[in-house]
Structure 1
Amino acid sequence: MHAMQYELTLPADYDTDIVRARVARIGHRLDDWDGLGLKAYLVRERGWHGSPVNQYAPFYLWNTVEGMNRFLWGGAFQGVVDDFGRPAVRQWTGLACSEGAGSRAAFAVRRRVPVPEGAELSVLMEDVAGETERLAGEDGAVLAAAAVDPHRWELVHFSLWEHDTSKAVGDVFEVLHLSAPGRDRLRRGRQW
């Protein structure tokens, strides 16, 4: 599993209904994308759940590098570039993924944290995998995943929720659409 996200921070007075309309118009295009586990079309608005910004920030879990690369280099990502400019695209290597009992994702929580200096990596990653499993077991959880960027030594925790997100710590987003053609093929449990 590979995780990927880009963030498009928008002006404070930006009408996020423009993003909502864009997702309603084109979100279905990845509903059958080969190699994609899931794409959560995410938005947050300044002042909502403590967000300091208006932001469009899709989050992806990929089953294959080929699917991810075809998205980035095969033309689909060009629409984002044409509409918003070329954002930095963050990528993380998968650590763990667990399904929850929830069915419809309405909210997402993303938390990025540095890997602590001096941490025993095997112990830390086992703890991260355990936390992913714990989150997925919470009431209302749809899915939880964790990944690491070993260049920046950064962990990302990502979870999808039907409703209340208080069981997860991080930035809260509204899920506008979920494309999940390969969600059933995302490897479950720890990834090593």
Structure 2
Amino acid sequence: MIAMQYSFTLPADYDMSIIDRRIRDKGPLLDGFPNLGFKAYLSARRGEFGSRDNLYAPFYLWQKPEGASDFLCSPGFEALTSAFGRPQVKTWIVWEAQFSPDIGAAAFATRNILQTEPHAPLADLRRAESAEAEADVAAGALASVSGFEPTTWTRVRFSLWREPREIGEHTQAYRVGHMSLAR
């Protein structure tokens, strides 16, 4: 599995109802996309839940790399890049992915990107990150994904929730506008 996210930082005075409308209109187009685990259509508003920026930042979980490749080569992604520019697409190799059958009810998301310390034992980190994902689900998360990226040695912790969560200083929180799921 591969986790993937790109983000567009929008001006402080940007009318975020444009993003809400885009999510409402375009969101269902990826429902059942081949090799998709889920796509969470995410947005954040400056000043809400500690966000410093207005963001449009979808997060994907791909069952197979071909799904990510097919999507990035698709007319839908081409239309997105025509509207907003070509983003930097972050990807992580998934260590753990936990799901609730109620994942479609997600309304909020949290994401942390953590730097991996030099010489940290990866097997120990993998076990710890997997335990974090399991703990999030035990605490009510509808999904929790952890993974790593070995070029920049970052790790991601991503969770979907029904309700807003108390967040830490380095956590980005989002609203979920739509969930596209595998069929």
Question: TM-score normalised by the shorter chain: which range applies?
Answer: over 0.9
Aligned partners of 1:120, 1:7: CA distance in 2, in Å? 30
Q: Is the 2:167–2:173 Cα contact (8 Å) retained in structure 1?
A: no
1:17-166 equivalences in 2 (<5 Å): 17-100=17-100, 103=103, 104-139=105-140, 141-166=141-166
Number of aligned positions between the proteins: 181
Q: Secondary structure, in 3 states, of the residue corresponding to 1:50?
A: coil
Q: CA deviation at 1:102?
A: 5.0
Q: CA deviation at 1:100?
A: 3.9
Aligned partners of 1:48, 1:171: CA distance in 2, in Å? 10
Q: Is the 2:34–2:182 Cα contact (8 Å) retained in structure 1?
A: yes
TM-score, structure 1 as length reference: 0.90
Mind listing any 5+ residue stretches in structure 1 that lack a counterpart?
A: 183-192
Q: Is the 1:135–1:167 Cα contact (8 Å) retained in structure 2?
A: no
Mind listing any 5+ residue stretches in structure 2 that lack a counterpart?
A: none
Q: Corresponding residue for 1:188?
A: none
Identical aligned pairs, as a percentage?
A: 37
Q: Secondary structure, in 3 states, of the residue corresponding to 2:70?
A: helix
Aligned partners of 2:63, 2:14: CA distance in 1, in Å? 34
CA RMSD of aligned residues (A): 1.5
Q: Secondary structure, in 3 states, of the residue corresponding to 1:48?
A: coil
Q: Corresponding residue for 2:10?
A: 10
Q: Is the 1:100–1:138 Cα contact (8 Å) retained in structure 2?
A: no
Q: Is the 2:109–2:158 Cα contact (8 Å) retained in structure 1?
A: yes
Q: Secondary structure, in 3 states, of the residue corresponding to 1:91?
A: strand
